[in-house]
């Protein structure tokens, strides 16, 4: 049913719950999982700060790749710099994903009302099904 699943991860505890859901779906559907992480840039960041963000991104993704690979799940990974919501939409299309599984971090309603959340952006802009954990 779901041949390819996009799994955005951010290294949080909530993201760990999302990983477990994807494991279950991928095993049942024999899916490939595309693990994705993005980091943002800021004009005030030094090159050293940006490099540390990039290295942190690789650490997050490598951990998830290893976890899913240990369960014999086919994985791909992608790390990009930019707005997470738009990158998720673009990558899902580029990779021909059937499903996006992501966490919902709506702990601060005022913040989400003012600036929006990544999950909210994806929900309103994705053309493929989304499973929020």
**Average confidence (pLDDT) over 113-117:** 56
**Average confidence (pLDDT) over 42-62:** 90
Give the pLDDT score at 115. Answer: 45
pLDDT digits (tens, 9 = 90+) for 24-33: 999 999 999 9
121 has a pLDDT exceeding 50: yes
| Pairwise CA distance, residues 50 & 81, whole Å | 10
Query: For residues 111-125, b (16+ Cβ closer than 10 Å) or e, as one string?
Result: eeeeeebbbbbbeee
Domain extents for the chain? Answer: 4-132
Q: What is the pTM of this model?
A: 0.89
| Pairwise CA distance, residues 80 & 57, whole Å | 9
For 3, 84, 89, 102, the CA distances from 120, given in Å and listed in that order, are 24, 11, 12, 11
- Residues of the chain above pLDDT 90, percent: 68
Find out whether 35 and 76 touch, Cβ atoms under 8 Å.
yes
Find out whether 105 and 119 touch, Cβ atoms under 8 Å.
yes
Sheet arrangement for strand 99-102: 74-81, 32-39, 4-8, 99-102, 130-132
Q: Which residue has the higher pLDDT, 19 or 119?
A: 19
Find out whether 131 and 7 touch, Cβ atoms under 8 Å.
no
Task: Kindly report the CATH number that applies to the domain delimited by 4-132.
Answer: 3.40.50.620
């Amino acid at each position: 049913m779901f041949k390819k699943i996009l799994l955005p991860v951010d290294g949080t505890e909530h993201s760990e719950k999302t990983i477990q859901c994807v494991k279950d779906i991928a095993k049942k559907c024999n899916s490939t999982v595309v693990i994705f992480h993005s980091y943002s840039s800021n004009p005030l960041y030094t090159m050293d700060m940006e490099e540390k963000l990039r290295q942190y991104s690789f650490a997050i993704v490598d951990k998830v790749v290893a976890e899913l690979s240990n369960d014999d799940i086919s994985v791909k990974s992608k790390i990009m710099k930019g707005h997470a919501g738009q990158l998720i939409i673009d990558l899902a299309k580029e990779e021909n994903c059937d499903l996006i599984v992501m966490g919902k971090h709506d702990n601060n309603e005022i913040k989400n009302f003012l600036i929006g959340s990544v999950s909210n952006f994806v929900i309103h802009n994705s053309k493929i099904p989304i499973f929020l954990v």
